[in-house]
């Protein structure tokens, strides 16, 4: 079945591991939104690999790996990532890059830094130019991969855009850096990338018509969606199910199943409200056991208990069919585990999720305490071998969210996954 894999939290849920586990059963794996602010960690032949734009299906030579037009692309970074993949022994002949993917330009990264350093705009971005690149798309002034393949066209368009950004930086009291020193590098990157460039909308439509199995790989997480996330502390694209269709050119008829990825606890990178955040020893323990440091930035992640109010919201807005629960083994040493099942606010208590940051920042989580298992789960490969307390934890999540847990991850390796029929 054609399957969408989406993050249910604020990103960093372990989507890379989940997609790598699932991808072997698919003919096509495609990224449909985000940029190199995403970081999917995969273990390949025992080696830790962090992918930023390349789809996680790249490790399967028979699987077509597609970067669709909903992804914003920094060409120099993509060239580096392709070369790194080649060094691992991957041929990369299965990669397809959309000619209509918008470019991330040096102006965008510079503006991202300016916005992050200004008090009224600080949201904790990766400072990689993702937001300003998407702003240019909405503002109808973006440059695309296909422009990069035509030197005269690219030089002409970049000159006009440079003038626009010069005025913008001046308005913010900053000097715009010169693009001249990287112009040739961008053009060289275009030459390097040209063999991979195609009309990916047509490619994906033909794959759908030919009844090939397609896996749609989400980046970031539902609670960072530009419309449905904790605004304004969000990313600049649709990280939810809606992004699949606008980012690929396929219709909703192309999706048969939606799998939601969630950690067994919660994390967040950057600014913004986080109702279940732990700032005590429990939080520090979970951070260290879970190695909760950003795969893109290296920043320590904020850590907290699983928020079932937020998870149920993410399940509902995406029409999730099942959950892929990751990092359950991180909870191994705890004798008790707390999960948030409601919020207290000025209006009383309830299980409604508050999307906008100002409202969410004022809620207090209501917890239910569940027994821990204090057992090393890493070597377990069968559902029936899981301690009763683990199965009770999974059942509690299923009952609250209304969907079954179809997969449980007990470590970083591909084989440390239990598939559950539900």
- DSSP 8-state secondary structure symbol assigned to residue 293: B
335: how many CB neighbours lie within 10 A of its CB? 9
The b-or-e profile of 361-372 (16+ CB within 10 A means b, else e) is eebebeeeebeb
343-351, long-range: CB < 8 A, 24+ apart: 343/275, 343/309, 351/309, 351/312
| Residues 264, 59 contacting (CB under 8 angstroms) | no
Residues in the chain, how many?
422
The token duo for 59 is 């490790």
Q: How far apart are CA 136 and CA 140, in angstroms?
A: 6
Torsion angle (degrees, nearest 10) of CA 216, 220, 225, 229: 130
- 36, 40, 52, 69: the active-site residue: 40
* CB 204 within 8 Å of CB 28: yes
DSSP states of 35-102 as a string?
-TT--EEEEETTEEEEESSS-GGGG-TTSEEEE-TTB-B-HHHHHHHHHHHHHTT---TTEEEETTPB
Check if 40 is active-site: yes
**Rounded to an integer, what distance in angstroms lies between the CA atom of residue 409 and that of residue 264?**
10
| Whole-number Å distance between alpha carbons of 51 and 113 | 23
Q: Give CA separation, 81 vs 129, 293, 310, 383, in Å.
A: 18, 20, 34, 37
Question: Alpha helix locations (H) across 88-150?
Answer: 106-117, 130-138, 145-148
Distance CA 191, CA 79 (A): 10
Q: Is 256 assigned a catalytic role?
A: no
Q: Which residue matches tokens 């300016």? A: 114
Set 12, 27, 321, 329: catalytic member: 12
How many whole angstroms separate alpha carbon 123 and alpha carbon 233?
Answer: 5
Q: Tell me the sheet residues that pair with 259.
A: 5, 322
Q: Would you name the residues annotated as active-site residues?
A: 12, 40
């Amino acid at each position: 079945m054609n399957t969408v894999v989406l993050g249910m939290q604020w990103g960093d849920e372990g989507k890379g591991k989940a997609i790598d586990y699932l991808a072997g059963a698919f003919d096509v794996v495609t990224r449909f939104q985000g940029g190199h602010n995403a970081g999917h960690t995969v273990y390949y032949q025992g080696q830790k690999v962090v992918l930023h734009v390349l789809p996680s299906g790249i490790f399967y030579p028979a699987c077509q790996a597609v970067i669709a037009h909903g992804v914003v692309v920094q060409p120099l970074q993509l060239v580096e990532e392709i070369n790194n993949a080649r060094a691992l022994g991957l041929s990369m002949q299965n990669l397809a890059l959309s000619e209509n993917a918008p470019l991330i330009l040096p102006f965008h990264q510079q503006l991202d830094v300016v916005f992050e350093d200004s008090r009224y705009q600080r949201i904790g971005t990766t400072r990689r130019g993702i937001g300003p690149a998407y702003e240019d798309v909405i503002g109808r002034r973006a440059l695309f991969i296909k422009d990069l393949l035509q030197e005269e066209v690219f030089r002409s368009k970049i000159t006009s855009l440079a003038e626009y950004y010069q005025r913008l930086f001046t308005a913010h009291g900053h000097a715009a850096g010169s693009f001249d020193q990287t112009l040739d590098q961008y053009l060289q990157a275009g030459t390097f990338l040209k063999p991979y460039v195609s009309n990916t909308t047509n490619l994906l439509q033909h794959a759908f018509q030919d009844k090939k199995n397609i896996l749609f790989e989400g980046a970031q997480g539902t609670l960072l969606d530009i419309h449905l996330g904790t605004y304004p502390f969000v990313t600049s694209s649709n990280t939810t199910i809606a992004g699949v269709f606008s980012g690929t050119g396929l219709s909703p008829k192309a999706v048969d199943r939606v799998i939601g990825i969630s950690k067994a606890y919660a994390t967040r990178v950057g600014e913004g409200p986080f109702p279940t955040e732990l700032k005590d020893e429990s939080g520090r323990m979970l951070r260290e056991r879970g190695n909760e440091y950003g795969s893109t930035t290296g920043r320590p992640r904020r850590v907290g208990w699983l928020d079932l109010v937020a998870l149920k919201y993410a399940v509902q807005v995406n029409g999730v069919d099942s959950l892929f629960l990751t990092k359950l083994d991180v909870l191994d040493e705890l004798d008790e585990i707390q999960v948030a099942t409601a919020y207290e606010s000025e209006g009383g208590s309830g299980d409604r999720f508050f999307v906008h940051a100002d409202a969410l920042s004022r809620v207090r989580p209501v917890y239910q305490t569940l027994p821990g298992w204090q057992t090393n789960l890493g070597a377990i490969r069968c559902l029936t071998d899981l301690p009763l307390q683990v199965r009770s934890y999974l059942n509690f999540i299923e009952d609250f969210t209304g969907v079954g847990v179809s997969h449980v991850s007990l470590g970083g390796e591909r084989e440390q996954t239990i598939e559950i029929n539900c």
